[in-house]
Amino acid sequence: MSSSSRIKIPFRTAVVMVGDYAKSRILDQLKSVSFILLYLVGFQILVLGSTPAHALRVAGGISMVVLGLAFFLEGLILGLMPVGERVGVQLPRRCGILVIVVFGLLLGMGSTFAEPAMASLRAAGSTVTAWGSPLLFSMLNQNALALVAAVAIGVGVAVAFGMVRFFYGLSIKPFIFILIPLLLLISGYCAMDENLQSILGLAWDAGAVTTGAVTVPLVLALGIGVSRASGKQEDAAGGFGIIMLASAFPVLAVLTLGLILNTDMPSPASGAEFFNTEHLQQALSLFEDENAMHQHALRMAGEDARAWFPDQRMGELTSSITDSLRPISEIIRQESLLALRAVLPLTALLLAVLWMLRDRLRHMDEVVLGIGLAIVGMALLTTGIQTGLAPLGDQVGRPLPRVFSSVAKIEGRVILSPFSLDEVRTAFAPDGSSTQFFYFQDKHGTPQVESFDPQRFDASTASYEHILKSKPLFGPELTIAGIGLVFLFAFGLGYGSTLAEPALSALGRTVEEVSVGTIRSKNVVLAVSLGVGTGLMVGVARLLYDIPTFWLILPPYLILLPLTYFSEEDFAGIAWDCGGVTTGGITVPLVLAMGLGIGGELNVSDGFGLLAMASAYPIVTVLIFGLVVRSRQKKRIREADVEDEDE
């Protein structure tokens, strides 16, 4: 179009139009996150009986999440997805399968390194003890780079396989029927080894974390482009299924890494046995140096750790400043750099491929604007998650076990000095027995009745060592009801956080487009959200009752195999992809905060496995939804045929 034929819009009118459009997009994202926000705050106030700490900071973070979601999704639609789809269309026309496979490998690996949720995966290892789960501890700390590399290679191989499948028009079902039984067999073998069984939750969670806000839109757009260009699929729905591969291959990669590292790994033991003189050198191999080993022992076992090193002098526990205490400006700067590192290399790779193919993008100005919006949106989104959404989830998740706890939990100690025995009172029971007590002012300034233990009183210094305890919220008589509340919270958390996932929104829109409106985006999102909520309840049950991870992974996948067999090809790919996109930048930190809270309170070795359940059950719900949709469509067709015959 020549410059003379361009439509000229007055500046004020343009501002109003852009403002109205931006307002509608921001309101859409506000609606998507409003449920999870109201749910978390309401649960904290009504059930836990507390108010959000650092409310102003949390509110600012949540505002960033809303703006970040709006900008990021708009950037995906205008920039990344059109470029990815264009590359997918041009590659099969200009290049052979070998070039396509290499490109898919590079794209998969690059998108994994850029995934914001990968950083959250390591945070879940903060409750893992070196003596309780040596292999898991090693993979999350000393071999953390090897873990990330294994996951990246897994995703790269998955995308490469996906390109082969699209190029030759292969069905997704054989991949499912080979990969899933293979993973279950390897997981079953690992479940029989006390060290390997500890990494099952990590491995299956890694498969869930890899398919987030960066990977999903790119590989989906690329897959649909290759599928269309190859001409060997009946419709664009044949481009689905690649997210399933990007979830399954990382599981295989992490399990393989675990099998390799386990050859010279110490066995789980008690702290005293693990750090005794005989095994000390082997234990030291898991740490950078002796001081790091002492710090870990002190942090995870407290004063008990000093008895494990009788011949060595141990220092005091040092703590680092957490992200929640860091200045917001510092977090924004760091997340902006991460956003640039995530988006720009991938964009450069895609544009470089188009340049080598001598292809030009239409509407380059829109693409540049979209990439800029994606960078700004990701920076705002990840900053908001760190300063608002994750701290809010943590504030609810950590005290959550108090809902069903029937005993008080020791939180710390305080020395009351001076302490006078004259302030100690005596309470008598009807049977004549007596107990001593005193009044202690809690952090809210409210006097509390506390039991007095004479053995903790030091007459020489007139001081008393008081044990601080978190009391059960409802008392021992409501433990079952409390557990029910925990399950309800887990379901609501999964349901609400999934509604706000940008990757799921992108997939839902794509599903509606390729199905020409026969499958509505909101119905797919609803089915996935119900599945995530159900999966999180199952994951919480694992933590509450210390159920081995393998026995929770096995049932849903045994259900999925026959469901997949009876489902149509296009919907099978859509359903398995939905399982991969549920665990992104919003769901991961919230779910891990809950897992860490419950696991730490119940002394569970780790909080892994929740994301694995949150990925499996959405596939079940979407496949069932697909079977219902197809059944209704066939019924309508039969009814229409009968009406035609009658006429």
Q: What is the mean pLDDT of each run of 10 residues along the chain (647 residues)?
A: 59 73 78 78 79 83 85 83 80 81 85 67 69 90 87 90 84 92 96 91 85 70 72 56 87 95 88 82 85 81 73 57 63 85 82 82 83 88 81 74 58 75 85 84 73 83 75 53 80 82 70 72 85 90 85 93 88 82 69 70 71 90 87 79 68
In a domain, 582, yes or no: yes
Give residues with Cβ within 8 angstroms of 474, minimum separation 6: 403, 481, 482
Domain around 430: 409-471
Q: How far is CA 50 from CA 137, 315, 552, in A?
A: 34, 36, 33
Residues 366 and 488 in one domain: yes
468 vs 441, 446, 476, 572, 598, CA distance in Å?
A: 11, 14, 19, 54, 20
In terms of domains, do 64 and 142 share one?
Answer: yes
Domain membership flag for residue 55:
yes
In whole angstroms, what is the distance from residue 125 CA to residue 128 CA? 5
354 domain-assigned: yes
Q: Is residue 312 part of a domain?
A: no
- Same domain for 467 and 591, yes or no, is no
Tell which of 439, 471, 503 closes a domain. Answer: 471
User: Residue written as tokens 């292809």?
Assistant: 359
Residues 598 and 489 in one domain: yes
Domain boundary among 471, 499, 516: 471
Tell me whether residue 1 is in a domain: no
Side-chain half-sphere CA neighbours of 87 within 13 A: 28
Kindly state whether residue 628 falls inside one of the protein's structural domains. Answer: yes
Phi, psi of 266 (to 5 degrees): -65, 155
pLDDT value of position 329: 84
In this structure, the answer to whether residues 431 and 518 fall within a common structural domain is no
Q: Is 616 within the bounds of a domain?
A: yes
For residue 410, what are its two tokens? 């020791």
| Residue where a domain terminates, one of 438, 471, 504 | 471
Same domain, residue pair 497 and 538: yes
Q: Is the N-terminal amide bond of 562 cis, ω within 30° of 0?
A: no
Would residue 220 count as lying in a domain?
yes
User: Strands 434-441 and 447-451: what pairing?
Assistant: antiparallel
> Is 569 found in the same domain as 441?
no
Closest CA to 374 of 28, 76, 70, 22: 76
Question: pTM (2 decimals)?
Answer: 0.77
Same domain for 129 and 150? yes
How much is the pLDDT for 179? 94
Indicate whether 326 and 457 sit together in one domain: no
Identify whether residues 464 and 488 lie together within a single domain: no
Q: How many domains does the chain have?
A: 2
Please tell me whether residues 81 and 220 are part of one structural domain.
yes
Shared domain for 592 and 466, answered yes or no, is no
